Structure 1
Amino acid sequence: MLDTASSISENCPMPLSDALKMPLSFESTYFNSSAWENRKKYLENEIERHNVFLKLGQEVIKGLNALASRGR
């Protein structure tokens, strides 16, 4: 039951205390709903955005390394 509440809390998002008050059937209702599909898209976009920043950071580091090697 705690795993279910934790999953709901992380993915809805809602406080764990609220998730613990929900009936167990809420999990399947939520994960089979369009709300979950929208939430998944949001999470995927957040991951993509985060990855873009990481790639930009890597490119900056490569550029700085190239500049540093020219100065030697």
Structure 2
Amino acid sequence: MVCGLGHVNGNLFKDEYSRVMAMTYDYMVLAGTQGKMNHAKKDRMFEFAEQNRLPTILFAEGGGGRPGILTLQE
């Protein structure tokens, strides 16, 4: 999971109104599959975005769950 802060339409709006958070799965790390630490990081980032009232862009395509790792429902 790679996360960052940026601006969308920063030329039209003040910084505080154009700031966004973006997240994507990193294909270079175990083919972008999702593991326990990945879910923990994603949860922290969503909490950060909520606390700072940031719109969030999530590129959710990845390699899926890792074999042998329990899902969140188990």
Q: What is the TM-score when the length of structure 2 is the normalising length?
A: 0.24
Higher helix share: 1
Higher RCO (Cα < 8 Å, 6 or more apart): 2
* Structure label with greater radius of gyration: 1
